Structure 1
Amino acid sequence: MDEVNWKLLCEQNPEVFAASEWNIFSEEKRRKWHLPSQYCYLQAGGMNLRIGIIAAQKDYKEEDFLLAGVLFGSRIGNGVRTLIYFVAPDFNAVFFKAISQLGGSIIAKAVYWRKKLTPSLYLVRNYSTLSSKFTLEKFESGWNKWEKQINPVDRRNLLIIKQYFESLIQRRVRTVFKKKQILFCWGNLEIAEIKMRENRIELATKVRWTRNKDIVLKFQKTGWIDSAGKINEEFCQAVDGMIDLLENMEMTNGLEAKDKLALQLIYDKEAIKSQFGKWTACPWTFKEREVKLFDPYNLYFFQKNENEINIIIPVIEKPMFKIVCALIINAVLCCNHMGREENKPEVNIQWNGKIFLLCLSEYKEEIGLCSQWLKDMQDFPVIFLPDHWRDEGLRQLKE
């Protein structure tokens, strides 16, 4: 694909933008400001209003494009009101909903780039006709659903596997159902899985949570049901060994912060449960494909009442990126009408419209700066972790 001369293109379409005489960012300045290299950046404007363009020539991830635009706007604005134009070949309703939530020190508009049309740049004025791209539906799965999809022999085997892993619930092992996979997790760490191959199932351990080759070699095992109706001993020993190792790592502060926090969020019976409800698996799934933003490490769901859902995003690294992710997740849910007022009748679990940001206290200043470019911070309440949350738990959450 030929490289686009964005400076010339923007200057040829002055009616689209609120400025002219664009200055393109040099590669040196882009690197100095830590801006992603896959986009082009232009700047104009004066003392009271800074104006920037961020242009994507190819397809993009919504969260990456938005983060780059916000980062660019923060750099050129430096506290002054800033207008950012996002220029790309295509947009969707989720991205527009996300940029519509910018409105503090940064405001944003979107511009279509149509290579084969003249003029080739068009300011987007009507967002309502765009498709969502991310289609959510209520996720219904469980052991019964899996039993219906496999052959009679594996149906018996599935029951044996189910009973085995249910015996490990007291050791904080939980079952996670996917469309073509059942995961067994300790916290958020996957320790075993069942995969479906046509109408058959395959059982194996999972050791991707470590890069230690010796640990992987020791615990990577295949499971099967023997003639006595039991899971092979080698597999069970590997599962027990992994849990022993992980529990020891927890006691000696050997877990990564995200894994330690996952255990506390999922199994806390005091502060989290009283304030947000009981942890639950994501009640929705994407119709077309998996979406990385809804990864278990990125957000946690809690059922407060019979059908009300609270959502928490941990912010223990990259605070600006996490807030951008919160904007996209908020937009995905809004575009799929998961909020209380617009809830679809067939979906009986309702989201309360807020994304709670659970942050390290050391990010207080940075979170404050990020809040300046949001239109309404009330949709993203901030809660700070206690200073000694690793050892003392989540009893003293701070707003």
Structure 2
Amino acid sequence: MKISRIETFLVPPRWLFCRVETDEGLIGWGEPVVEGRAEVVRSAVEVLSEYLIGEDPLRIEQHWQVLTKGGFYRGGPVLSSAVAGLDQALWDIAGQAYGAPVHALLGGPVRDRVRVYSWVGGDDPNEIAEAVAAQVEAGMTAVKMNASGQLSAIPTAAEVANVVRRVAAAREVLGDGRDVAIDFHGRATAAGVRRILPEIAPFHPLFVEEPLLPEQAHLLHDVVTASPVPVATGERLFGRAEFLTPLQAGVAVLQPDLSHAGGISEVRRIGAMAEPYGAVLAPHCPLGPIALAASLQIAFSTPNFLIQEQSIGMHYHDGGAELLDYVVDPEPFRFVNGHIRRPEAPGLGITVDEAAVRAAAREGHAWRNPVWRHDDGSFAEW
């Protein structure tokens, strides 16, 4: 069996899909994308495809080694995301070829269901209680929210109080039996986050995500040491080597993204590397159905897995397509009491609606993340 064709599809609301076809008729799907830079990743996929055409798709590890190390300049979000999507597609083909879900090829399932959480915004504290209540009504047992909008380098008393009010509003609706995770989105400084975390600790967040920017990993140890709340990070890290400093700093939760951090092949290794440090995996996934399907295969085969992000109904989709618009059968993504049952279909466990993808690709998208500024006109982290 040989790879005969690789196509990419830029589809709303902000995603990029790739389709890998073989000469024996098997087709694998992947989701190689950097949000806001999808067109650039598309070009990288096209370049990497030059190597894959004519190759045996089942030699996944060999291809991963060549795609990640075959160029003198390596790594970074664009290249690692291009590799990630292609890697997902190759695992999808392998599962179909062997007649098994990917989690079976990774050693078999270690759980019967996977806990998931939903996004509830958080920039506007007045909307928190209503959004959280809707998720509770839908049966979710965990939600994630932004800690704040933009933050000053040294947060004011009012900014700290606003964060506390947001978290308190969520906790009041959730009660003690459900969880809330708090996403700082890299908007805080080390000094700022050390000021805020003790104030929200009484509300027992599941974790605080990206309290610092990824380039400030050398400061994580001080934040972790000072924090009464478990610290999570990793959505903007792209390989095992980049996760080593956070692990050594004592981060409790790693959040590699299956569409950024080298795909299924690399994320399973990141999970294994985290085990000796006592860290757990909560893959980042505000993306489409293929990325979520790949994430779930990791979740079902990773012992130190915590919880899975998913983007159904997320505000980034407003005015665009939804995750379920691109699959033939939404059943693999059906939530039961805040969990997803183990998929048993071969490959990634979903059937992509190719007609819907091709139709959406005719529209395409040019999604860009917002650019924020402080009151004085200077750049602010989004």
What is the TM-score when the length of structure 2 is the normalising length? 0.30
Larger Rg: 1
What is the TM-score when the length of structure 1 is the normalising length? 0.29
Quick check: which one's strand share is greater? 1
